[in-house]
Structure 1
Amino acid sequence: MARITAGVATSHVPAIGAALDQGKAAEPYWAPVFAGYEASKAWIAAEKPDVVILVYNDHASAFSLELIPTFAIGCAAQFAPADEGWGPRPVPVVQGHPELAWHIAQSLILDEFDMTIVNRMDVDHGLTVPLSLMFGQPAEWPVKVIPLAVNVVQYPPPTGNRCFNLGRAIRRAVESFPEDLKVVVFGTGGMSHQLQGPRAGLINRAFDTAFLDRLVADPKGQAQVPHIDYVREAGSEAIELVMWLVMRGALDETVREVCRFYHVPASNTAVGHLILENPAP
């Protein structure tokens, strides 16, 4: 059967993708960011997952204020990089895994999660930047990817508890798929940041560090934190962190922390990153 072996959490700052695409990764400002992912790239090259379920939020590329699904799963065979206003990122087309994606969609809907099934969808920096951070700049992505988009843009987003329980349901779905596949779940977005208003540029290191600690050791407790705490303490865009709870819900209660990275600033945000492994069976 298919199995989830590990989870990856990472920020998906668009400027990180631009720095890579424009050959600026070695510049003094950006070099510390990319250095923080070198061990992670070695880890995932050794892990060799067959499929990544990548939880992210769309930034008005595939969806708009006219259509806002709370949870949407990409079931297509391919997903092209989106044009976010300055042309698509020069990265490979994302290859999907329709068989597993449809199986997950069916399982989640019968598990009483109302998923939007998407058969055609361009994917923006929310999905491609995490792939670049973990896999570098290959000619083709070395893994199949199932995009899972969460609405954290238009109020009301799903609660942290709903996201955590979605992760649990995803695990049940994966483990009922008969093919022998190694699956890694990515939770992306965050950490503390606000892009507009009087608090633009807000960074709360203490909040971010506490979140990382609780995600590892007390995810059920973190799942009970209300939306307003994220917004008040870490900025309006910090609500993206509920997507990390989808990843955490898909893992064992007790996990092994493989690596942790935190850096300020990258653009006007804090970059956070974790790799968590399930204990070997």
Structure 2
Amino acid sequence: MARITAGISTSHVPAVGVAVDMGRTEEDYWKPMFAGYDFSKKWMAENTPDVAIIVYNDHASYFGMEIMPTFAMGLANSFEICDEGYGPRPIPPVMGAPELATHVAGSLITDDFDLTILNVLEVDHGLTVPLSLMFGAPDKWPTRVIPLAVNVVMNPQPSGARCFALGKAIRRAVQQFDGDLDVQVWGTGGMSHQIQGARAGLINEPWDRKFMDDLINDPEVLQYKPHLEYMIEAGSEGVELIMWLIMRGALGPEVDEVYRFYHVPASNTAVGHLILTPKGSE
């Protein structure tokens, strides 16, 4: 039986990828942030999953305003790196897990999630920056990946409750897979930030820290947080945090906190990061 052994949440700031690619991680500005992932890299080296289901949002890099699926899953053998305007990042392609992905996609559709199936997909910084934060700069990524793209870019966006339910459905699907696989679910994006308008640069540290506490201890209530609150309290891009709810839903009712990190700022974003395991899984 396949099993979900951990959940990872992390911000996916594009400038972090640039810092990695240009060898700037030891600069005064970036060093404290990257130091916050030293524990995570060591932990991940000892707990590398066979497959990581990475929940992320495309930033109009592969998808556009013409086509923006609410939920979309990549089923391909591999996924190339998007050109986000300055050329693709100089990193390895992401290797897929088509057998598990096909099973999970079929299970989710049977559970009445209208999932878009992607047999061709290029992935942007929403997915690749978390890989860099957890694995550094390897010649080949040490885990296979199932990309799960969520629309948090344009209205209408899925509710927190729908995302939380999707995570629960992913857990059921993985557990029903006939194969001995160690699977992690990663929720990416956030935390509080706004990249345009009069409130550009907004950071709300108390709200961010409370969100992490609630994600661990009270996600059943957190799922009903309205999108308007995310916008008011966490900025126009803060709604990315609903993707963390998918990760949390996939872990089961109770979790153990392995690690927590919070840092301000990285570019104009508050960086949040958690490693969680299902209660009693250690």
Q: Give the TM-score category using the shorter length.
A: over 0.9
1:34 alignment partner, SS class: helix
Q: 1:243 Cα deviation (Å)?
A: 0.1
- 1:143 aligned to 2:139? no
- 1:280 aligned to 2:281? yes
CA distance in 2, matches of 1:280, 1:17: 32
**CA displacement 1:72-108 (0-9 Å, x = unmatched):** 0000000011100001001110000000001011000
CA distance in 2, matches of 1:196, 1:280: 42
Identity of aligned residues (%): 64
1:186 alignment partner, SS class: strand
What residue identity is the alignment partner of 2:255?
V
1:18 alignment partner, SS class: helix
Q: 1:67 Cα deviation (Å)?
A: 0.3
**What residue number does 1:257 align with?**
257
2:122 alignment partner, SS class: coil
Matched length: 281
1:236 alignment partner, SS class: coil
CA distance in 2, matches of 1:153, 1:193: 14
2:123 alignment partner, SS class: coil
CA distance in 2, matches of 1:110, 1:256: 30
Normalised by the size of structure 2, how large is the TM-score?
Answer: 0.99
What residue identity is the alignment partner of 1:90?
P
Q: Any residues of structure 2 matched to 1:90-239 within 5 Å, and which?
A: 90-239=90-239
Q: 1:280 Cα deviation (Å)?
A: 1.8
**What residue number does 2:248 align with?**
248
Q: 1:254 Cα deviation (Å)?
A: 1.0
CA distance in 2, matches of 1:156, 1:207: 24
What residue identity is the alignment partner of 2:244?
W
**CA displacement 1:217-261 (0-9 Å, x = unmatched):** 001110010100000111000000000000000002111100000
Q: 1:38 Cα deviation (Å)?
A: 0.5
Normalised by the size of structure 1, how large is the TM-score?
Answer: 0.99
**CA displacement 1:252-277 (0-9 Å, x = unmatched):** 21111000000000000100000001
RMSD of aligned residue pairs (Cα, Å): 0.7
CA distance in 1, matches of 2:208, 2:228: 15
CA distance in 1, matches of 2:74, 2:44: 23
What residue identity is the alignment partner of 2:119?
N
Q: 1:48 Cα deviation (Å)?
A: 2.1
CA distance in 1, matches of 2:86, 2:63: 18
Gaps of 5+ in 1: none
Gaps of 5+ in 2: none
**What residue number does 2:266 align with?**
266
CA distance in 2, matches of 1:160, 1:238: 13
**What residue number does 2:48 align with?**
48
